[in-house]
Amino acid sequence: MKTLASVSEERKRKLNHGEVETAHLVEALAMDLSILLNAMYPDEDVQEIPKDLGIVKRVQFAGEWIYRTLGLSEAKVLQNHPSDTARAFGCCVIGCSDLCFEESLEAMMLYADDPHFSVREWAWLAIRQKLAKELDKGISLLKAFSKSDSENIRRFVVELTRPRGVWCMHLNELKKDPSLAFGIFEDLYNDPSRYVQNSVANWLNDASKSKPDWVIGVCEDFLEKSTSSETKYICKRAQRSINKKNSVS
């Protein structure tokens, strides 16, 4: 098991100075983000990031400082930074900016298709609150992206709209009526990418916690359209909370 103590001092130095990417979450947790900000902007009076904040709040804090200090244009600069954490800051620059959801979505596309897993997570996390404020319009805009050739982009739109999600605010409207976002993943029931399959299944599993009958109906519909191993996998994972509850009762 990887622990904070397993991250060597030399490895932390490289991470804190933006020289390398994190290999896993433990390395991200081991970093001192204030050191990274100072390494990125040695000529600026960098604001200290409170160490008592959780990892999500610390990254957001850094992004907000960059936006206040250097402006929105810095988000484009950070897209090419060698550190995935610095690129995560770029996501948060867009997220805290005064861009509307549509503008933020366009600005976020390169981050959403980033080679590094953590940056792809930050891409949807950073603009989720903006989506919540413009949910109907946002869902309409996202439908086209669900047909992208990139599995990263297809997963991005699904994760962005998850009713409950992980480490993020819930979308209460979608908890009450998940059918509002069905158009985003209705054509992904047979997606060839396991990355996307897991995301669709997790979306439906989220919805099943408030609307189990709706999820059962969606899975039945999927299985009528396809009996592929991909569809069966999605539907099994999508109903895991329902099946667990039924087995207990």
Task: Give me the average pLDDT of each 10-residue run along the chain (249 residues).
Answer: 90 98 96 97 95 94 98 97 98 98 97 98 97 96 96 98 89 97 95 98 97 98 97 97 73
**CA 44/CA 65 separation, integer angstroms:** 11
Helices (H) and strands (E) in the chain, counts: 16, 0
* Signed CA dihedral, 36, 38, 43, 46: sign only: positive
Tokens 């998940």: give the residue. Answer: 178
**Residues 83-98, buried b or exposed e (16+ Cβ, 10 A)?**
bbbbbbbbbbbbbbbe
Tokens 């979505």: give the residue. Answer: 105
**CA 94/CA 108 separation, integer angstroms:** 7
Say what percent of the chain tops pLDDT 90. Answer: 93
**CA 129/CA 53 separation, integer angstroms:** 19
Tokens 């932390």: give the residue. Answer: 12
pLDDT of residue 248: 54
**CA 124/CA 147 separation, integer angstroms:** 17
**CA 45/CA 72 separation, integer angstroms:** 18
Q: What would the pLDDT profile of 1-55 be if each residue is shown by its tens digit?
A: 789 889 999 999 999 999 999 999 999 999 999 999 999 999 999 999 998 999 9
State how far the alpha carbon of 47 is from the alpha carbons of 12, 167, 211, in Å.
21, 24, 44
Task: Using alpha carbons only, give the angle 180, 190, 145 rounded to the nearest 5 degrees.
Answer: 50
Can you give the pTM of this predicted structure?
0.94
